[in-house]
Chain A
Amino acid sequence: MTGYRNLTIRQKQIVWAWTFLAVPVVFYVVIRFYPTGTAILISFQDWNLLGSRSWSGLENYRTLVADPVFWKVFKNTFLYLLIGTPVSLVLAFVIAYHLDKLRFAHGFLRMLYFLPFMTSAVAMAWVWRWFYQGVPIGLFNNMLASMGIAQVEFLNSTTNALPAVLAPAVWAGLGFQIIIFMAGLRAIPTSYYEAAKIDGVGWWTVLTQITIPLLRPTIVFIVVFSSIGFLRIFDHVFNMTTNNPGGPLNATKPLVLMIYETAFTNYDMGYAAAQTVVLFVILLIVSLIQLRLLRST
């Protein structure tokens, strides 16, 4: 106790700061860092969840590199990212841009756009799964059939399935992005627009010279946020393809689903951990690149 009394105010502040920080620090160490470390350790081992673990060196990583399914899944993961992020970014901006100018039923429309974000991904995935079915139950195909157009195989196709699964995922994230964009738009000082008006500039110039450049921090934030989301896509895919997870023929399987299957249906924990480490590295690299972009603003 005397020890504490002898400290300077500065030192006492530090002691108190660390006392309060101890809770999140302990939390992070026990809940985040310890399992992360263990996962990296397990990736060099062989373990089927029962029985004991045994060392296998780089074997899991060797299997990974030689596994054609892994490369297919790797490609899918980046397809989700490369299609999902730009599409949702453009859509969210266009909607936010016009919603911002709208007075009539503004709050109601904003609520409608935000609603999917609050909906459970599982429920949404199952509803879309039903939309995509063939005649006689599927909504889209029934519409096509009633117009005399041939059915489209949405989910049971190696080419259509991935975009079909991605669509509800984009839609679900849209509400959040619109809200962020609108906040960004509101944050642009009106004086710029007034100045532009006085100068008599067209809307295109206003958009490209004022709005978009000033939205840059917002855009970077949304890109970072949504690309991490798409890299980790799981619930939509899993729920829309439960009968043949990630199928058909692995056409929709993202990395997270492969990890899940390796771990909890094949009980190959070492191999699953190796895949997790790869996902971790990918996420780390993507985040670092994007943070760098963010800093340069």
Chain B
Amino acid sequence: MTQTIRRYAQAGAIWALAFMGGGVSAQTVEIEYWQYFFDARVEAMEQLIESFEANNPDITVTMTHFPYADYRTKVAAAIPAGEGPDVVQLFYGWLNDYIEADLIQPLPEETFPAAAIDDAFFPMVQAMKVEGQYYALPTAVRSLALFYNERLFEEAGIEAPPTTLDELVEVAKATTKTDNAGNITQVGITTGMTAQDHHWFREVLVRQFGGDPYQDDYRTVNYNDEAGLKALEFYAGLEKEHGVTASSFMDEPQAAFKAGRAAMHIDGSFRIGSLADQRGLNWGVAELPAGPDGTQANYSSYWVNAITTKADGERYDAAVRFMEYLTSDEAMQVWLDVVGELPAKPSVGMTEENANNEVFGPFIRGLEYARTTKFANESAQRQVLVDMLARTDLEGQPLKESLAVAAEEEQAILDEYYAQ
């Protein structure tokens, strides 16, 4: 009896489907995608959703975006209430908080086998793996590189960007200008821990001087040693010893570079867009200079997508398929072309065309040896390094002491976070 009814119902459903033209039907699954508002990201996502829907006519994806400032609050309020996104974008550094708060669920092992992802993605993406399971994956990543002003290089007779830290100092000396009173009017290289330099110090300089900034999966601070001190001496020396920079020069490092008052500037790939719009500024990009023993290092950060705990049943299946598409080569190429963020997989990044791209190339090549700091609280940990330099600069504290204080402060932040 029940079987007959079910057969009739099935027949009816098929008939109804055929009648409605088969396209948009009552069986369409609607899933929601959330990200924060940034013009290019929204545009790229619109394109991705469009082609995803074309290939998966049974799924509709609705995108919602919020100003960055409200993002976390909105996500936190919506998901436990059974509302909001099925697939959500989050900063890699928030992963632990999101897992802890039960907002996201692990990616299914059948579709996203951990071993295959380890192989397919750039190595730093492994930070998204918790106890052998991936919880989130990026479409695009960012890394650091050295921007240089071609006109200032030419003026000083410099032919190629520096490839080592020693060369960096020499080039910076040649391109620094001062007025009669000795005030710097053009810096050789911009510095400022408040910008990207704290990443350069942590993941790049400390490693290049032979150290290992953290141990125990980023739970133990380890830069308060000989290598850390050398790295700090190098960094602080740019201003104090060589006089090729001033830490608050023109308010912000990127402003100085944009205004053509800085010959070199270390920044992330996200800066490309705003520099490209700057008229009259001829700039190039090079990989970060190698350390004294030739060590190359880089820092990578990224936004990831994850499936929320709200997605279940057929919405879950649809979300998995959408995630699959977001981590596909095709999606990564779209993201690179529209947003200018780097592909998260070597299969897209290391193509002949992308890896040798004049602008993106140095960033993408940097991904091969980039690391991702697992922050407990990025802004607090950044503040520790900002203060470390400020103490030596404004209060005359010896570098060694200031480094020790910084390590202690940062350890306290980590301890508090992991104690919970």
Which residues on A are within 8 Å of B, measured CB to CB?
Answer: 48-51, 129-130, 133-137, 145, 148, 150-151, 155-158, 243-244, 247-249, 261, 264-267
Contacts and interface: CB of A to CB of B under 8 A. Distances in A.
A156 B192 CA distance: 12
A148 B103 contact: no
B72 A267 contact: yes
Nearest to A159: B394
A243 B194 contact: yes
Interface stretch (B154-162, B335-343, B383-391): B383-391
A158 B395 contact: yes
Query: Max chain B CB contacts within 10 Å: which of A136, A157, A266?
Result: A136
B167 interface: no
Contacts of B97: 48, 50-51, 267
Interface stretch (B248-256, B290-298, B318-326, B350-358): B248-256
Query: Max chain B CB contacts within 10 Å: which of A48, A129, A130, A148?
Result: A48
A133 B184 CA distance: 13
> A-side binding surface: helix, strand, loop or mixed?
loop
Nearest to B181: A145
Contacts of A48: 97, 101
Contacts of A261: 379
B46 interface: no
10 contacts: A48-B101, A134-B183, A134-B248, A134-B250, A135-B179, A158-B394, A249-B394, A249-B395, A265-B380, A266-B377
A150 B72 CA distance: 46
A135 B184 contact: yes
Given A134-B248, A135-B183, A156 B103 contact: no
Contact of B394 (A49, A151, A248, A265): A248
Interface string B250-266: 11100000000100000
A249 B73 CA distance: 29
Contact of B250 (A133, A158, A244, A247): A133
B50 interface: no
Interface string B229-256: 0000000000000000011111110000
Contacts of A249: 387, 390-391, 394-395
Contact of B100 (A50, A157, A158, A244): A50
Contacts of A243: 192, 194-195, 251-252
A33 B291 CA distance: 59
Nearest to A262: B380
A92 B132 CA distance: 67
B185 interface: yes
Interface string B93-115: 00001101111000000000000
A158 B100 CA distance: 39
A133 B195 CA distance: 17
Interface in B67-83: 69, 72-73, 76
Contacts of B76: 49-51
A133 B395 contact: no
Query: Max chain B CB contacts within 10 Å: which of A134, A158, A248, A267?
Result: A248
Closest A-B pairs by Cβ, 3 of them: A50-B101, A51-B101, A243-B194
Interface of B: 69, 72-73, 76, 97-98, 100-103, 179, 181, 183-185, 192, 194-195, 246-252, 261, 377, 379-380, 383, 386-387, 390-391, 394-395
Contacts of B387: 247-249
Contacts of B251: 129-130, 133, 137, 243
Nearest to A63: B416
Contacts, number: 81
Contacts of A51: 76, 97, 100-102
A264 B250 CA distance: 28
Contacts of B183: 134-136, 145, 151
B394 A148 contact: no
Nearest to B253: A243
A244 B249 CA distance: 14
Nearest to B97: A50
A165 to B, nearest CB: 15
Query: Max chain B CB contacts within 10 Å: which of A130, A148, A244?
Result: A244
A109 B125 CA distance: 62
Contacts of B98: 50
A136 B261 contact: yes
A119 to B, nearest CB: 21
Contacts of B185: 135-136
Contacts of A156: 247-248, 394
A51 B309 CA distance: 13
Contacts of A49: 72-73, 76
B9 to A, nearest CB: 42
Contacts of B390: 244, 247-249
A133 B194 CA distance: 16
Contacts of A150: 181
Contacts of B103: 50
Contacts of A247: 386-387, 390
Nearest to B183: A135
Contacts of B181: 145, 148, 150
B146 to A, nearest CB: 21
A266 B379 contact: yes
Contact of B248 (A130, A155, A158, A264): A155
A23 B168 CA distance: 67
Contacts of A157: 394
A267 B185 CA distance: 40
Contacts of B386: 244, 247
A158 B73 CA distance: 34
A244 B379 contact: no
Contacts of B394: 156-158, 248-249
Contacts of B383: 244
